[in-house]
Chains A and B, each alone.
Chain A
């Protein structure tokens, strides 16, 4: 039988099997697997290995992994030069491969931001990231309605457009008179050369007329007036915006760090009651920052179609790697909410989406976990028609497990909000009109923004 070519998805399982069989589970679990930028693998042992073991294992791994074996030093012993930094690298992930729990150091040319665990919740004001894998799911419209709704309640809202590939928020919320000089793109380009100062920050913000008279909506668009004047330079700016930035102290600020710094600059409770961020959750480098890095409530928009679940499976399966094996559910899980865009009015039909979401989360390891592996079924104690109650079972064994994402929300399909232009049709932003379609979403956001104290009024 011809030996089949090893492909990317095969490589890690092969390496873990070989190392486990040669060195045992414990040595495998204690060491670090290094995956280089090409995807080639090496094993760094946390214990010192005899010379002949290293040689023997290296030969076996080379044979087994083919092109996915590192060419030099496929096995490194604890005592070797250069092993210690790999073993202690903070970007190491603990992941599960088949029966093995292993440490993986994934060196990437791009995508390094995805290796960072989700940030803890940001201090107030609350942040909401509106994201989707694809466009056309009603994400920006939902953000606009939410901003107008909060402003109508007297809230002060900052709306930020991080979707630089397909910006849209600026043109919905602002007009040619209110568009600020700069946009997010400029901030990301300029900060590589000089620290941003207050006057630059001030020129990032434009006020939206949709704020009404009661509250306020400030907008940081993706592109400002300058970009509109020099459209030919936009692509050149995008190329620079994604560059990592060397800090004065010698460290490197990734795009996640840079975006976070900009958002943090504005996010003070004295200025705003809520920060709403429009972002792609595509699997691209830049989207890691919005999903993981802002400490925000993340709303994952999607239509009820297979592409939605396929795309989010990749994103969520990656996030599941940050969940400790037997620990409590991570706090950030409660900050992920799926939102069904253009949802049907019939709640029966929407139930399908909800069920697919809960299945997706559960299968990927982000849902309630089976309490124990049951390979046996109990017989009822006592006569069939009179099984007694067991009063001694503790609450935590019987009550529903409350770990998992929050229930999906629905934004109902409403033709009036297609080709949404609130400047031409202000009536769309009156509560009576938007409440039916957006009520559930707005209720969720409002609860966080105007959170009531737990005690009695």
Chain B
């Protein structure tokens, strides 16, 4: 029972029109929506109210999950996906969202409370105030100004009295108040201030560990927690206990297939599944992970084979080019071997618009290969939102043969004046430069900045290398004049 060419095209069109851009703010216009909710098994630990620190690189869904926790309707849906976490006993408030509008707390409100020359104590008081703010909000009292809570935050005894009172009240009602901190990379535009604020917040998280009914949850980028400049004796414990948000290949395919199952092409897609002896899933089944295509690798591979053919080339020796299921995952990884949903979906979308629609399948190997190009751009654009210097630093490396001795890499940057350009541009455009200014502002620091965010890596033999994902991007950036090496 083969599908008709029209049915294949139907599925192809559905892939082509998938929204590539998933929500990336916890609140506001870009907050998550119910139909976007997909709940991989591996993300349960990140949503667990007991886990105070969740790490994730750009695009892994930190703000998405922060937003889901913050909205009752979504939290209830998530509770069906993760029934053990007790998400339906939660009250959720935000301690930081990066946005000053609505009830959010962003850099402006922070700056109003913590003067530019403030020390660690002031920073700590601010974070205490965000907790008191959350408690007040949860009580449904008249909205208080954050700055009005600073005196109570400074007064240890008063602060503890408030916390204890709420702890008891919540406990009596079997409720837990979760205060969520997101977009924490936006809280400062200088390295020393960001380090000060991060450290103060981590100290407050540590102090709060004894409260059972008032929990904090920080969604953080790994490089922010791993910053060597943080000085706090309990830091190793927080780092070790941190949960990492990642997207294993199975979850990425699960996401893609779930989107198809709930798309306009669900009838054709259902027919394809039927022809393989696979079952279609409803929204509830998919959310509760009662659908094999969300987690069963062999079912996923069979479906991918039906969508694209088994191998990255046709013919008797096509198998040597690798199989279509593994190829995207192998080429989309960053230096930590992590793939983000957006680059994965970006590849699929680009593959579905490449060339003429084949009559006997949905995507072609050439289309998938071409899709890497789109995914590569997507990934760098994504990083660019947090690291505006990334493109300028990558572009000069386009012609470099990799892996390469560090000396050669550094020479390329030196000859193109990349380092001074990056620092000057950051100052002019008011963004965080690649690394904290210090005595050793050299190309090595630039490399280290790229290594921290998974764009470059050092191989076992000591040479520097770059994952395919970023090599492709470097070659895709527009080049101007050249410098002789």
Interface residues of A (CB under 8 A from B): 121, 331, 334-335, 351-352, 355-356, 359, 370-372, 374-390, 393, 395, 397-400, 402, 406, 447-448, 451-452, 454-457
Neighbouring B residues of A383 by C-beta, 8 Å = 425
Neighbouring A residues of B471 by C-beta, 8 Å = 400
**Known interface pairs A385-B431, A398-B373, A400-B468. Does A355 touch B480 (Cβ–Cβ under 8 Å)?**
no
Distance in angstroms from B20 CB to nearest chain A CB is 15
Neighbouring A residues of B477 by C-beta, 8 Å = 380-381, 387-390
Neighbouring B residues of A456 by C-beta, 8 Å = 2-3, 275, 305-306, 309, 360-361
Question: Do B478 and A390 touch (CB < 8 A)?
Answer: yes
- The distance in angstroms between the C-alpha atoms of A452 and B301, with both chains bound, is 13
Smallest CB gap from A124: residue in B: B316
Question: Do A381 and B478 touch (CB < 8 A)?
Answer: yes
- The distance in angstroms between the C-alpha atoms of A48 and B429, with both chains bound, is 72
Question: Do B485 and A399 touch (CB < 8 A)?
Answer: no
Near A by CB (< 8 A), chain B positions 447-464 give 459-461
> Which has the most chain A C-beta neighbours within 10 Å: B2, B372, B459?
B459
Query: Interface 1/0s, chain B 268-299, versus A by CB < 8 A?
Result: 00000001100000000000000000000000
22 contacts between A and B (CB under 8 A): A355-B403, A374-B400, A376-B483, A377-B400, A377-B416, A378-B396, A378-B482, A380-B391, A380-B479, A381-B395, A381-B478, A382-B480, A385-B426, A387-B391, A389-B476, A395-B373, A399-B372, A400-B372, A447-B319, A452-B305, A455-B309, A456-B275
B395 touches which one: A380, A398, A457 (CB < 8 A)?
Answer: A380
Is there a chain A Cβ closer than 8 Å to B377's Cβ? yes
Distance in angstroms from B422 CB to nearest chain A CB is 7
> Beyond the given A378-B483, A398-B373, A456-B2, could you list 15 further A-B residue pairs with CB under 8 A, ordered by the A residue number?
A352-B460, A355-B461, A359-B403, A375-B485, A379-B416, A380-B396, A385-B392, A385-B431, A386-B391, A387-B478, A388-B478, A390-B478, A395-B369, A447-B319, A452-B310
Neighbouring B residues of A382 by C-beta, 8 Å = 478, 480
Enumerate the 4 nearest inter-chain pairs by beta-carbon distance, A residue then B residue, closest first. A380-B395, A374-B399, A378-B479, A384-B392
Question: Do A399 and B369 touch (CB < 8 A)?
Answer: yes
Question: Do A379 and B483 touch (CB < 8 A)?
Answer: yes
Question: Do B482 and A377 touch (CB < 8 A)?
Answer: yes
Near A by CB (< 8 A), chain B positions 401-451 give 401, 403, 412, 415-416, 421-422, 425-426, 429, 431
Neighbouring B residues of A455 by C-beta, 8 Å = 309, 360
Question: Do B276 and A457 touch (CB < 8 A)?
Answer: yes
- The distance in angstroms between the C-alpha atoms of A190 and B466, with both chains bound, is 57
- The distance in angstroms between the C-alpha atoms of A384 and B413, with both chains bound, is 13
Question: Do A400 and B276 touch (CB < 8 A)?
Answer: no
Neighbouring B residues of A378 by C-beta, 8 Å = 395-396, 398-399, 416, 479-483
Smallest CB gap from B397: residue in A: A377
Distance in angstroms from B137 CB to nearest chain A CB is 37
Distance in angstroms from A151 CB to nearest chain B CB is 21
Question: Do A398 and B475 touch (CB < 8 A)?
Answer: yes
- The distance in angstroms between the C-alpha atoms of A50 and B305, with both chains bound, is 67
Is there a chain A Cβ closer than 8 Å to B140's Cβ? no
**Known interface pairs A384-B392, A400-B468, A456-B2. Does A390 touch B479 (Cβ–Cβ under 8 Å)?**
yes
Neighbouring A residues of B389 by C-beta, 8 Å = 384-385
Is there a chain A Cβ closer than 8 Å to B388's Cβ? yes
- The distance in angstroms between the C-alpha atoms of A420 and B479, with both chains bound, is 59
- The distance in angstroms between the C-alpha atoms of A399 and B361, with both chains bound, is 23
Is there a chain A Cβ closer than 8 Å to B154's Cβ? no
Is there a chain A Cβ closer than 8 Å to B237's Cβ? no
Is there a chain A Cβ closer than 8 Å to B317's Cβ? yes
Smallest CB gap from B475: residue in A: A398
Is there a chain A Cβ closer than 8 Å to B159's Cβ? no
Question: Do B480 and A379 touch (CB < 8 A)?
Answer: yes
**Known interface pairs A334-B317, A390-B476. Does A379 touch B482 (Cβ–Cβ under 8 Å)?**
yes
- The distance in angstroms between the C-alpha atoms of A451 and B483, with both chains bound, is 50
Smallest CB gap from A370: residue in B: B401
Question: Do B399 and A372 touch (CB < 8 A)?
Answer: yes
Question: Do B399 and A377 touch (CB < 8 A)?
Answer: yes
Is there a chain A Cβ closer than 8 Å to B331's Cβ? yes
- The distance in angstroms between the C-alpha atoms of A455 and B308, with both chains bound, is 9
Question: Do A379 and B481 touch (CB < 8 A)?
Answer: yes
Smallest CB gap from A402: residue in B: B321
Smallest CB gap from B417: residue in A: A379
Neighbouring A residues of B400 by C-beta, 8 Å = 374, 377
> Which has the most chain A C-beta neighbours within 10 Å: B306, B412, B475, B477?
B477
Neighbouring B residues of A393 by C-beta, 8 Å = 475-476
**Known interface pairs A352-B460, A454-B318. Does A400 touch B472 (Cβ–Cβ under 8 Å)?**
yes
Neighbouring A residues of B305 by C-beta, 8 Å = 452, 456-457
Distance in angstroms from A352 CB to nearest chain B CB is 4
Smallest CB gap from B429: residue in A: A385
Query: Interface 1/0s, chain B 314-326, versus A by CB < 8 A?
Result: 1111111101000
Distance in angstroms from A19 CB to nearest chain B CB is 32
**Known interface pairs A374-B485, A387-B478, A400-B471. Does A395 touch B315 (Cβ–Cβ under 8 Å)?**
no
- The distance in angstroms between the C-alpha atoms of A397 and B398, with both chains bound, is 11
Question: Do B306 and A377 touch (CB < 8 A)?
Answer: no
- The distance in angstroms between the C-alpha atoms of A350 and B309, with both chains bound, is 30
Neighbouring A residues of B429 by C-beta, 8 Å = 385
Near A by CB (< 8 A), chain B positions 1-26 give 2-3
- The distance in angstroms between the C-alpha atoms of A379 and B426, with both chains bound, is 17
Neighbouring A residues of B479 by C-beta, 8 Å = 378-381, 390
Neighbouring A residues of B236 by C-beta, 8 Å = none
- The distance in angstroms between the C-alpha atoms of A375 and B320, with both chains bound, is 34
Neighbouring A residues of B323 by C-beta, 8 Å = 447
Neighbouring A residues of B401 by C-beta, 8 Å = 370-371, 374
Is there a chain A Cβ closer than 8 Å to B143's Cβ? no
- The distance in angstroms between the C-alpha atoms of A451 and B460, with both chains bound, is 35
